[in-house]
Structure 1
Amino acid sequence: MASNPYEVEHNVKDTNNRKHTRRPDMASYTTHAPDAAGLFRLLQDQMASLASTAPSDGNRLFLEGLISVLESDIDSPPERIRGVTQEYLDQLERVPKKQLKQEDSCPICAEAYLDDPYPLVVELPCAGGHRFDLECVGHWLSGKGTCPLCRQDLTEKKKFEVPADDDEDNDDPDGLYG
């Protein structure tokens, strides 16, 4: 029986004996694929597996859209994978369990977050603030670097605008006095 990342990291034994059947098993994602096309093919296979058992038409159509995006990358692999780093994934904002509603579910695996005794749900820093199981979205982000729902590029660092100094009585025009 596969354990979730929380159970592994904290050496917790699953007492419910509930297996998360729809979460992608990506254990071989980075160890068995020799190149970008191979990595995208493994991810595409997992998405196709989930689509074949989709609990709703909406989930199936969403997964088919992801499969289609991956197909173009397999046919014309990029020279460089534009994904995010493990450090980036580790720093994603976690959603506390108390903020999750019973009907909230992962768009990828379609499992209710609260069906997991230790849900590891992240909110992406995209405009929509989309939420996913980290297990489901982590490999997509590592390979594509975009939000699976809105496709916003998450590899670009946030750009901060420096406000213009409108002070006409600037006693320090050279900026020497901090």
Structure 2
Amino acid sequence: MSGYEVEHNLAGQPGQEQASQRARRPDLSTFFSTLELVDTSGEQQAHLNTHAVPLPEDVAALYRNLANAFEMMRGGASGPQQEGTNNLLASLVEELMRNADDPPTEVKGVPDSFLDELDRVPKKSLKPADSCPICGNPFLDDEYPLVVVLPCSPMHKFDLECIRPWLKLNPTCPLDRKELLKKKAPPPPPDDDDGEYDDYYA
């Protein structure tokens, strides 16, 4: 069976050695199509029944899809600099598989508006040694890097393509596990004394 490079006619092209050393990102189209079924962030679609919850098997499949994708990235990483990436991916895969085995009733990830508002890191401020903690690829290997920094620390920089699926499931930073999205407190119940007055007051 031929490899990826042969099937896509990449053999002998410039930059091939560099590309083959990098971990390839897996296709997440199945993950995102499953996410559309179970997204509870309120932005994707309005449900007819406001009390409806996602089916547990769909939620389990969502977590399992991302765990498999991260495991594939972990298998592609090699070399001493990838050890930290492998450790991080191993812990993320473990957490995702726990959620797949015992799926929550709702997905508590961040809405798309949160991802849109993350601070972008300009290419000129990236150093050659800076790399994504998830995929392990140096940011500057990409001609047009789309790097975001999480609000928990100015050092927590990720490729948006890598951090987006994690944040759609978990509102925490993968590195320090700090909660990134503060939930708004529910409004207080209406006070019954404000509206109607009793006939006994004269």
TM-score interval, smaller chain: 0.7 to 0.9
Distance 1:128 1:71 in 2: 29
Is 1:106–1:112's contact at 8 Å kept on the other side of the alignment? yes
Deviation, 1:156, is 1.1
Is 2:23–2:76's contact at 8 Å kept on the other side of the alignment? no
2:103 maps to 1:77: yes
2:46 maps to 1:44: no
- The one-letter code of the counterpart of 1:25 is D
2:134 maps to 1:108: yes
Deviation, 1:128, is 5.7
Distance 2:128 2:155 in 1: 19
- The one-letter code of the counterpart of 1:74 is A
Distance 1:128 1:158 in 2: 24
2:141 maps to 1:122: no
Is 1:22–1:110's contact at 8 Å kept on the other side of the alignment? no
- The one-letter code of the counterpart of 1:135 is E
Work out which of the residue numbers 94, 114, 117 in structure 2 matches 1:88: 114
TM-score (norm 1): 0.73
Q: Secondary structure at the match of 2:96?
A: helix
2:179 maps to 1:153: yes
Q: Deviations over 1:11-54 (max 9, x none)?
A: xxxxx796875224212212146621111111000010011122
Change (3 A) 1:91 1:81: same
Q: Secondary structure at the match of 1:46?
A: helix
TM-score (norm 2): 0.65
Is 2:23–2:136's contact at 8 Å kept on the other side of the alignment? no
| Structure 1 portions without partners, runs of 5+ | 2-15, 160-178
Q: Secondary structure at the match of 1:110?
A: coil
Write out the 4+ residue segments of structure 1 that deviate beyond 6 Å after TM superposition.
none
Structure 1 or 2: more helix by fraction: 2
Work out which of the residue numbers 88, 91, 97 in structure 2 matches 1:65: 91
Distance 1:36 1:63 in 2: 20
Q: Secondary structure at the match of 1:29?
A: helix
- The one-letter code of the counterpart of 1:52 is G
Distance 2:127 2:153 in 1: 21
Q: Count residues with an aligned counterpart.
A: 146
2:27 aligns with 25
| Structure 2 portions without partners, runs of 5+ | 5-14, 38-57, 186-202
Work out which of the residue numbers 118, 123, 131 in structure 1 matches 2:157: 131
